[in-house]
A and B are shown apart, each in its own frame.
Chain A
């Protein structure tokens, strides 16, 4: 469990980093928190010719929260985003989700943007970005482009990042007034990747009936599965929603696979249960915001 040889570079500026990545082409890999890349290297599952360590690049660790949402820089650690009061106020789902990501020591190093690029279908942050309709900003020597979540996650462990590109930040939009969010998951052990998990966002109308309801499900498809369940939930107050029918609707939307930790059937069942739990919590959070 030692990596094969690679060319290690630690650029001091963004321009230098982009230059090194451009030079390396498809043989280049960005090293951010290293919590996913280093194990892959050690197990010789990845053998990049060059590793570009961006940890010394200044200006990439920003967390900018405003009324429209939160922009998270490439070097913002999970823990920093989790603890940011501004981020939590602008988009509470960030903190709700980050508490479920791995363990504190891993969150101290792992980055939110790294997690998005890594695109593990069991990871929480891709689901959050997908649910909120956020985007990732990619920079290369040629310039920058902003890729919406719907186009960013292209497959299990595959994202739209091209050789030579560095993801410099991600944007998580805020929700309209009278909105609430929640994240529920079942993991085998505390901090493990979820066996199944659901992020939910609910917006109420002026009469406190559900006007919009969406879920994003993890571990049940190659990429986060986003579903609009407004029709099944609204326009009714949360207390009179036929939650069993909502669970059934979500169950029908996902095509999970079985593995050594859970059968496909269990994952489907769980997704229904967790969707209802997350939607109900999101609805009461939306209520709480109102009062």
Chain B
């Protein structure tokens, strides 16, 4: 069937627009709008003594200056703590504009609105803020020491503390299991901070319609529906009077799921107050110091295992740095603690984390969301066990794998969605077999010996992960077929370049039997779809994909019902091919979907030829039946929701071969191989693209990216000059192979793929460097300078 597109490498329909400069990003909108800019704290921790704006008042084009004192009602309250958790006993959030105390460099203190951004920044430069500098708390262990406090009322800087324990056979605790194991290892691991750094920063543009008393807001967000609710609540507007649209968004990777950002409520507020369009476009420096970071953790590990390397007990203690505030709760350390187990069955497991405040930028999920740290921990553990026992590293992993016949497999933990961590499906031994073949694992020792004979150092590493994807609570889809035969699909969640316009169209075209050219997709526009959660946790395909499929099935059923009547056939005998409804096996008995759409909507007025055919005087309807039958609705459209009982669990395994220069300590990735299982593939090309992007970010986390704070809490590398995001030249060619173990949990059998690529990269690269150098690598990222130092201190 020509319309069967599910599973095909259909070219991304958004690309011609996005790569020829036709994309409409936030800053492309609102050319005439006033510009907002912010005076941000230059200090990591300080008390605001005085704000003197007098110097700025003469700036030509200045429109308004606001501080916290100007904010009315709910706007003056702290920003919401979006995801509360009983373990987050001391959750704290910032104010939209700082009130009394600033707790990180970059916190907004004063908002300026002017004719353009240049003038707004001129005014900012002339505003004087007097601060009393307080002792900054920087560094995880310093913070946990509690000598100085980030929040006066949070003792020890501990925002949250959570222990999860899964007893082993016979109810033994992890401590007992480790103590009783034949072999034991104890070590410490460090993962540095990084950040999402999407190419487009955040941005908000608001238009107040004074006549209509309504607000239209464009935001570069991962959740327009929720931003809408936040704005309505903070500004005291009726929900129907607020529309939020996510235009083309140049990447999110997690930072744009946080909401409302101060600017997302301040800009609409100012637009209404001034009755002028107002826009704020975040610049790169602002993004570094006022958006979110992630990753920073210190882990203490105790592992007990038997002669085959089977983990009998595992104890992990995590110090998690959540920066100055906790608007997104403790999702990140919860994911680290639970997803740490990966594809393995561990005898007994205990994980404990303390989430601590520091005077640094807040920490919220960044692609991978705590998993890279968890996988780093588990995979370093596997490698250390193999080294200790002198066994092959893949053998040790295989000895610990959950087997294909053990699904659904209950890890006994509570996942980030508050539901039990139960893996739905997977085939880890097969994935490992495929990976070893792809990278040439068994032949590598020879290759390594040959290289050594030439004076070259090469090493190989492997890493496995399981990723809970497609978390609830729900997403919805709306599908409408209009009388021109076009199919309009909308879903509430947003897109940041992933290819939703393509995959959702593939799903709709396949479900409805129409050519993909007839399908258009709208995401993240509350005017089109009001109920949604957002794009995060590798959930868009699973959640909206299934919702759209279900909505299509409703529309299809209705179309067949109407067509059956017109064709005087049994709906069960009908099929839809290329947009024509026809009797199976008899293509001549057919009716176009466009005509079905006309028939579905009886009209009074004839405004064009199509409408003429649909007027109440045209049809064959009998006089004793209402034009719209009971239980029916006019129009050929359907809406449905998908709400899963729990997450689906995708999995993957990566391997890398690296070379280290014996003299300069430069590190080069020679080969990078990925075996990936996200259930049924909607579009293998898009999945590979997601993997490539993820691996690229993973390479950043492994070899380049860190947030370097000095002891005063100043971020020393707040620019792309010194924060080293890898260029294309630093990212290796990525070899991929797909395994498809369908999810039994959803109609399409799919699992998420968005974050996967990034998750195991640090673990894999560390393992490969360790193999090349023979030095334990326990801290990531690692630079040539770091490797040089390790060599000297070996």
B125 to chain A: which residues have CB within 8 Å? 4, 44
Contact flags A121-158 to B (C-beta < 8 A → 1, else 0): 00000000000000000000000000000000000000
Which of A52-60, A68-76, A260-268 has 4 or more CB atoms under 8 Å from chain B? A260-268
A133 to B121, CA, bound (A): 44
B118 to chain A: which residues have CB within 8 Å? 2-3, 5
Q: Are B722 and A266 in contact (CB under 8 A)?
A: no
Which of A93-101, A165-173, A183-191 has 4 or more CB atoms under 8 Å from chain B? A183-191
B284 at the interface (CB under 8 A from A): yes
Closest to B706 in A: A260
Q: Are A190 and B727 in contact (CB under 8 A)?
A: yes
Other-chain contact of A195, B122, B663, B722, B785 (Cβ < 8 Å): B785
Total residues of chain A contacting the partner, CB 8 A: 26
Other-chain contact of B284, A1, A2, A188 (Cβ < 8 Å): A1
Which parts of A174-229 form the interface with B (CB within 8 Å)? 186, 188-192, 195
B307 at the interface (CB under 8 A from A): no
A274 to B664, CA, bound (A): 8
B729 to chain A: which residues have CB within 8 Å? 189-191
B726 to chain A: which residues have CB within 8 Å? 189
A286 at the interface (CB under 8 A from B): no
Closest to B719 in A: A43
Which parts of A1-60 form the interface with B (CB within 8 Å)? 1-5, 39, 43-44
B727 to chain A: which residues have CB within 8 Å? 103, 189-191
Other-chain contact of A260, B285, B663, B716, B789 (Cβ < 8 Å): B716
A117 at the interface (CB under 8 A from B): no
Q: How far is the CB of B793 from chain A (nearest CB, A)?
A: 11
A189 to B784, CA, bound (A): 11
A2 to B281, CA, bound (A): 12
Q: Are A270 and B704 in contact (CB under 8 A)?
A: no
Contact flags B717-731 to A (C-beta < 8 A → 1, else 0): 101011010110110
Q: Are B283 and A261 in contact (CB under 8 A)?
A: no
Number of A-B pairs, beta carbon distance below 8 Å: 67
Q: Are A263 and B122 in contact (CB under 8 A)?
A: no
B213 at the interface (CB under 8 A from A): no
Q: Are B664 and A273 in contact (CB under 8 A)?
A: yes
A262 to chain B: which residues have CB within 8 Å? 783-785
B788 at the interface (CB under 8 A from A): yes
Q: Are B285 and A43 in contact (CB under 8 A)?
A: yes
B708 at the interface (CB under 8 A from A): yes
B117 at the interface (CB under 8 A from A): yes
A135 to B727, CA, bound (A): 35
Q: Are A2 and B783 in contact (CB under 8 A)?
A: no
Q: Are A260 and B722 in contact (CB under 8 A)?
A: yes
Q: Are B789 and A263 in contact (CB under 8 A)?
A: yes
Closest to A184 in B: B664
B665 to chain A: which residues have CB within 8 Å? 266
A4-B122, A5-B122 known; A189+B704 contact, CB < 8 A:
yes
B724 to chain A: which residues have CB within 8 Å? 188-189, 192, 261
Q: Are B784 and A266 in contact (CB under 8 A)?
A: yes
Q: How far is the CB of A275 from chain B (nearest CB, A)?
A: 12
Q: How far is the CB of B429 from chain A (nearest CB, A)?
A: 38
A39 to B283, CA, bound (A): 13
A5 to B730, CA, bound (A): 38
Which parts of B700-740 form the interface with A (CB within 8 Å)? 704, 708, 716-717, 719, 721-722, 724, 726-727, 729-730
A1-B285, A260-B722, A273-B664 known; A188+B122 contact, CB < 8 A:
no
Q: How far is the CB of B317 from chain A (nearest CB, A)?
A: 29
A232 to B231, CA, bound (A): 72
A174 to B303, CA, bound (A): 65
A236 to B722, CA, bound (A): 42
Q: How far is the CB of A41 from chain B (nearest CB, A)?
A: 11
A287 at the interface (CB under 8 A from B): no
B283 to chain A: which residues have CB within 8 Å? 1
B484 at the interface (CB under 8 A from A): no
A118 at the interface (CB under 8 A from B): no
Q: Are A261 and B785 in contact (CB under 8 A)?
A: yes
Q: Are B117 and A2 in contact (CB under 8 A)?
A: yes
A190-B730, A191-B729 known; A269+B788 contact, CB < 8 A:
yes
Q: Are B121 and A263 in contact (CB under 8 A)?
A: no
A269 to B791, CA, bound (A): 12
Most buried by B among A103, A189, A195: A189
Q: Are B708 and A260 in contact (CB under 8 A)?
A: yes
A5 to chain B: which residues have CB within 8 Å? 118, 122
B666 at the interface (CB under 8 A from A): yes
Q: Are A261 and B121 in contact (CB under 8 A)?
A: no
Q: How far is the CB of B732 from chain A (nearest CB, A)?
A: 13
A262 to B283, CA, bound (A): 28
A103 to B727, CA, bound (A): 11
A4-B125, A43-B285 known; A263+B117 contact, CB < 8 A:
no
B719 to chain A: which residues have CB within 8 Å? 43
Q: Are B717 and A260 in contact (CB under 8 A)?
A: yes
Closest to B787 in A: A266
Closest to A4 in B: B122
Contact flags A244-277 to B (C-beta < 8 A → 1, else 0): 0000000000000000111101100110011000
A262-B783, A266-B788, A266-B789 known; A188+B121 contact, CB < 8 A:
no
A269 to B787, CA, bound (A): 13
A191 to chain B: which residues have CB within 8 Å? 727, 729
Q: How far is the CB of B216 from chain A (nearest CB, A)?
A: 26
Q: How far is the CB of A102 from chain B (nearest CB, A)?
A: 11
Which parts of B199-224 form the interface with A (CB within 8 Å)? none
A5-B122, A44-B125, A260-B716 known; A186+B789 contact, CB < 8 A:
no
A232 to B726, CA, bound (A): 39
Closest to B666 in A: A186
Other-chain contact of B663, A4, A188, A189, A273 (Cβ < 8 Å): A273
A33 to B246, CA, bound (A): 36
B789 to chain A: which residues have CB within 8 Å? 263, 265-266
Contact flags B59-90 to A (C-beta < 8 A → 1, else 0): 00000000000000000000000000000000
A186 to B122, CA, bound (A): 39
A263 to B664, CA, bound (A): 13
Contact flags B592-620 to A (C-beta < 8 A → 1, else 0): 00000000000000000000000000000
A1 to chain B: which residues have CB within 8 Å? 121, 283-285
A186 to B283, CA, bound (A): 30
A260 to chain B: which residues have CB within 8 Å? 708, 716-717, 722
Closest to A247 in B: B663
A1-B285, A2-B121, A4-B125 known; A189+B730 contact, CB < 8 A:
yes
A44 to chain B: which residues have CB within 8 Å? 121, 125
Closest to B730 in A: A189
A189 to chain B: which residues have CB within 8 Å? 704, 724, 726-727, 729-730
Q: How far is the CB of A147 from chain B (nearest CB, A)?
A: 29
A95 to B730, CA, bound (A): 23
B122 to chain A: which residues have CB within 8 Å? 4-5
Contact flags A269-291 to B (C-beta < 8 A → 1, else 0): 11001100000000000000000
Contact flags B279-307 to A (C-beta < 8 A → 1, else 0): 00001110000000000000000000000
Most buried by B among A3, A43, A188, A261: A188
Q: How far is the CB of B533 from chain A (nearest CB, A)?
A: 33
Contact flags B112-124 to A (C-beta < 8 A → 1, else 0): 0000011001100
Q: List 14 A-B contacts (CB under 8 A).
A: A1-B121, A1-B283, A1-B285, A3-B118, A4-B122, A43-B285, A44-B121, A188-B724, A188-B784, A189-B729, A260-B716, A262-B783, A263-B789, A266-B788
Given A2-B117, A189-B729, A263-B788, 15 more A-B residue pairs with CB atoms under 8 Å apart are A1-B121, A4-B122, A4-B125, A186-B664, A186-B666, A189-B727, A189-B730, A191-B729, A262-B783, A262-B784, A263-B789, A265-B792, A266-B785, A266-B788, A273-B664
Residues of B within 8 A of A (CB): 117-118, 121-122, 125, 283-285, 663-666, 704, 708, 716-717, 719, 721-722, 724, 726-727, 729-730, 783-785, 788-789, 792
Sorted nearest first, the 6 A-B pairs with minimum C-beta distance are: A190-B729, A262-B785, A1-B283, A266-B785, A2-B118, A266-B788
